[in-house]
Structure 1
Amino acid sequence: MHSRLYLLGVVLVLALFFFPSCEKEVGSGTENLKIPDQVSYNFHIRPILSDNCYACHGPDANKREADLRLDTEEGAYSALKESKGKFALVAGNVEESVLYHRITSDDPAIMMPPSESNLKLTDREIKLIEKWIRQGAEYEPHWAFVPPKSSGLPKIEQISWPINEVDYFILAKLEESGMKPNEKSDKEALLKRASLDLTGLPPTLEMMDAFLADNSADAYEKLVDRLLASPAYGEKMAVYWMDIARFADSHGFQDDSYRSQWPWRDWVIHAFNENMPYDKFITWQLAGDLIPQATKEQILATGFNRNHKITEEGGVVDEEYRVMYVTDRTNTVSKSLLGITMECAGCHDHKYDPISQKEYYSFYSFFNNIKERGIESSVGGPETYAKRPLMQISNAEVDSILTFINKKDTLDLIVSVMGDLDSLRPTYVLERGAYDQPRDTVTVKTPEAILSFGPKYEKNRLGLADWMFSRDNPLTSRVFVNQIWQEIFGSGIVTTPGDFGMQGALPTHPELLDWLSVDLMENNWDMKRLIKYIVTSATYRQSAVITKTQLEKDPDNILLGRAPRHRIKAEFVRDVILASSGLLNREIGGPSVKPYQPDGLWEGATSGRGILSTYKQDHHENLYRRGLYNFIKRTVPPPAMTIFDGSNRDQCEVQRPITNTPLQALVMLNDPTVLEASRVLAGKLLQESSNSETNIRKAFRLIVCRKPTEQEVAILKNYYDGRLQLLKETDAIELLAVGEYPAPEGLDAIQVASLMQVITTLYNLEETISKT
Structure 2
Amino acid sequence: MRRTSSSLLVWMLLLSGVRLAAAEPATTPEAVDYNRHVRQILSNHCYACHGPDEAQRQAGLRLDQKEPALAELDSGSRAIVPGASGKSELVARVTADDESLLMPPPDVGERLSDEEVAILRKWIDQGAEWDEHWAYQPIERPGVPPVFGAEWPKTQIDHFILARLERDGLQPEPEADKTTLIRRLSFDLTGLPPTPKQIDALLADESADAYERLVDRLLASPRYGERMAQKWLDLARYADTNGYHIDNHRSMWLYRDWVIDAFNRNKPFDQFVVEQMAGDLLPGATLKQKIASGFHRNVMVNFEGGADPAEYLSKYIVDRVTTTATVFLGTTLACTECHDHKYDPFTQREFYQLYAYFHNVPEQGLDGRQTNPKPSLRVPTEKQTEQLDALATQAEAVKKEIAQALAKHGENVPSEPVAPQQAPREFFWVDDALPEGAAVAEKDKSSWPLVASPHPVLNGERSIELKTSELGQHVFTGARRPLLIGEGDTLVAHVWIDPADPPQEIMLQFNDGASWEHRAFWGGDEIEWGSAGSPSRLAMGVLPPVGRWLRLEVPAQAVGLEPGTVVDGWACTQFGGRAFWDKLGIVSRMPQGPDLSTNQAAWELAERGRAKPAVPSAVAEALKVAADKRSDEQTRTVRDHFVRRYYAKTRAVFAPLEAKLAELEDERAKVRDSFPETMVMQEMEQPRDTFVLVRGDFRTFGEKVEPGVPAILPPLPADAPPNRLGLARWLVDPSNPLVARVTVNRYWQQYFGTGLVKTSEDFGSQGERPSHPELLDWLAATFIDSGWNIKALQKQIVMSATYRQASHVDPEKLTRDPENRLLARGPRFRLDAELIRDAALAAGGLLDPRIGGPSVSPYQPPGLWEQVGFGGEFSSQKYEQSHGADLYRRGIYVYVKRAMPYPPLVTFDAPNREVCTERCECTNTPLQALVLLNDPGFVEAARGLAQRMMTEGGDTPEDRIALGFRLCTARTPTPQEMRVLLRIYERQRARFQGDAESAKKLTSIGESPVPEGLDTAELAAWTAIGNLLLNLDETITKG
Aligned match of 1:653 in 898, 905, 917?
917
2:377 equivalent in structure 1: 391
1:106 equivalent in structure 2: 97
Alignment of 1:119-268 (within 5 A): 119-268=110-259
Measure the CA separation in 1 of the matches of 2:33 and 2:720: 35
1:682 equivalent in structure 2: 946
The answer to whether the aligner puts 1:711 opposite 2:711 as a matched pair is no
- Aligned pairs, how many? 750
From the CA coordinates, give the structure whose radius of gyration is larger: 2
Are the structure 2 counterparts of residues 397 and 698 from structure 1 closer, same or farther at C-alpha, using a change threshold of 3 Å?
Answer: closer
In structure 2, stretches of 5+ residues that fail to align are: 390-669
Contact 1:395 1:410 in 2 (8 A): no
1:747 equivalent in structure 2: 1014
Alignment of 1:74-89 (within 5 A): 74-81=67-74, 83-84=75-76, 86-89=77-80
Question: 1:509-556, CA deviations, whole angstroms, 9 ceiling, x for partnerless residues?
Answer: 000000000000001000000000000000000000111111111111
Aligned match of 1:369 in 346, 360, 382?
360
Measure the CA separation in 1 of the matches of 2:256 and 2:894: 12
Measure the CA separation in 2 of the matches of 1:115 and 1:759: 58
Letter in 1 for 2:238: F
Measure the CA separation in 2 of the matches of 1:16 and 1:566: 12
Contact 1:235 1:269 in 2 (8 A): yes
Contact 1:47 1:503 in 2 (8 A): yes
Structure in which a larger fraction of residues adopt helix = 1
1:53 equivalent in structure 2: 46
Alignment of 1:290-305 (within 5 A): 290-305=281-296
Question: 1:63-91, CA deviations, whole angstroms, 9 ceiling, x for partnerless residues?
Answer: 0000000111111111111x12x111111
Are the structure 2 counterparts of residues 91 and 310 from structure 1 closer, same or farther at C-alpha, using a change threshold of 3 Å?
Answer: same
Measure the CA separation in 1 of the matches of 2:761 and 2:732: 18
Structure 1 residue 679, shift from structure 2 partner: 1.1
Letter in 2 for 1:67: G
Structure in which a larger fraction of residues adopt strand = 2
Aligned match of 1:578 in 816, 841, 846?
841
Structure 1 residue 681, shift from structure 2 partner: 2.1
Deviating more after overlay: 745-754 vs 272-281: 745-754
Question: 1:279-336, CA deviations, whole angstroms, 9 ceiling, x for partnerless residues?
Answer: 0000000011111111111111000000010013243211111111111111110111
Aligned match of 1:720 in 978, 985, 989?
985
Measure the CA separation in 2 of the matches of 1:521 and 1:651: 28
Structure 1 residue 759, shift from structure 2 partner: 1.1
Measure the CA separation in 2 of the matches of 1:631 and 1:481: 29
1:563 equivalent in structure 2: 826
Question: 1:441-480, CA deviations, whole angstroms, 9 ceiling, x for partnerless residues?
Answer: 0001100112222423221111111111122110010000
The answer to whether the aligner puts 1:443 opposite 2:706 as a matched pair is yes
Structure 1 residue 181, shift from structure 2 partner: 0.1
Are the structure 2 counterparts of residues 197 and 402 from structure 1 closer, same or farther at C-alpha, using a change threshold of 3 Å?
Answer: farther
Contact 2:751 2:827 in 1 (8 A): no
Letter in 1 for 2:763: F
Question: 1:730-752, CA deviations, whole angstroms, 9 ceiling, x for partnerless residues?
Answer: 22112112111111222221111
Structure 1 residue 684, shift from structure 2 partner: 3.1
Structure 1 residue 19, shift from structure 2 partner: 9.6
Measure the CA separation in 1 of the matches of 2:828 and 2:72: 53
The answer to whether the aligner puts 1:28 opposite 2:295 as a matched pair is no
Deviating more after overlay: 712-721 vs 581-590: 712-721
Structure 1 residue 118, shift from structure 2 partner: 3.3
**Paired residue secondary structure (1:95):** helix
Contact 2:253 2:853 in 1 (8 A): yes
Alignment of 1:275-424 (within 5 A): 275-376=266-367, 379=369, 384-394=370-380, 399=385, 411-424=674-687
Are the structure 2 counterparts of residues 17 and 715 from structure 1 closer, same or farther at C-alpha, using a change threshold of 3 Å?
Answer: farther
Measure the CA separation in 2 of the matches of 1:135 and 1:21: 44
Measure the CA separation in 2 of the matches of 1:438 and 1:729: 73
Contact 1:311 1:321 in 2 (8 A): yes
Measure the CA separation in 1 of the matches of 2:764 and 2:366: 35
Question: 1:318-374, CA deviations, whole angstroms, 9 ceiling, x for partnerless residues?
Answer: 111111111111111011111111122110011011111101100111111111110
Contact 2:384 2:671 in 1 (8 A): no
Deviating more after overlay: 722-731 vs 570-579: 722-731
Measure the CA separation in 2 of the matches of 1:218 and 1:67: 63
Measure the CA separation in 2 of the matches of 1:683 and 1:562: 37
Contact 1:353 1:502 in 2 (8 A): yes
Question: 1:673-713, CA deviations, whole angstroms, 9 ceiling, x for partnerless residues?
Answer: 11111112212332343321111010111111112112211
Contact 1:385 1:414 in 2 (8 A): no
Q: Percent identity?
A: 44
Structure 1 residue 28, shift from structure 2 partner: 3.1
Deviating more after overlay: 722-731 vs 349-358: 722-731
Are the structure 2 counterparts of residues 77 and 221 from structure 1 closer, same or farther at C-alpha, using a change threshold of 3 Å?
Answer: same
Are the structure 2 counterparts of residues 389 and 70 from structure 1 closer, same or farther at C-alpha, using a change threshold of 3 Å?
Answer: same
Letter in 1 for 2:784: M
Alignment of 1:5-16 (within 5 A): none
**Paired residue secondary structure (2:329):** coil
1:73 equivalent in structure 2: 66
Question: 1:199-222, CA deviations, whole angstroms, 9 ceiling, x for partnerless residues?
Answer: 000001110110110011110000
Measure the CA separation in 1 of the matches of 2:380 and 2:234: 28
Letter in 1 for 2:311: E
**Paired residue secondary structure (1:23):** helix
Structure 1 residue 611, shift from structure 2 partner: 2.2
Structure 1 residue 139, shift from structure 2 partner: 1.1
Measure the CA separation in 2 of the matches of 1:771 and 1:90: 52
Measure the CA separation in 1 of the matches of 2:381 and 2:276: 23
Are the structure 2 counterparts of residues 215 and 397 from structure 1 closer, same or farther at C-alpha, using a change threshold of 3 Å?
Answer: closer
**Paired residue secondary structure (2:692):** strand
CA RMSD of aligned residues (A): 1.9
**Paired residue secondary structure (1:429):** strand
Contact 2:350 2:710 in 1 (8 A): yes
Structure 1 residue 757, shift from structure 2 partner: 0.6
In structure 1, stretches of 5+ residues that fail to align are: 1-10
1:62 equivalent in structure 2: 55
Contact 2:242 2:300 in 1 (8 A): yes
Contact 1:408 1:590 in 2 (8 A): no
2:902 equivalent in structure 1: 638
Contact 1:339 1:498 in 2 (8 A): yes
**Paired residue secondary structure (2:11):** coil
Structure 1 residue 155, shift from structure 2 partner: 2.3
2:1027 equivalent in structure 1: 760
Structure 1 residue 32, shift from structure 2 partner: 6.9
Structure 1 residue 653, shift from structure 2 partner: 0.6
Are the structure 2 counterparts of residues 97 and 17 from structure 1 closer, same or farther at C-alpha, using a change threshold of 3 Å?
Answer: closer
Are the structure 2 counterparts of residues 17 and 302 from structure 1 closer, same or farther at C-alpha, using a change threshold of 3 Å?
Answer: closer
Question: 1:395-428, CA deviations, whole angstroms, 9 ceiling, x for partnerless residues?
Answer: 689527999xxx9996022111000011121000
2:434 equivalent in structure 1: none
Letter in 1 for 2:59: A
Measure the CA separation in 2 of the matches of 1:412 and 1:660: 43
Measure the CA separation in 2 of the matches of 1:400 and 1:106: 81
Contact 1:297 1:402 in 2 (8 A): no
2:1038 equivalent in structure 1: 771
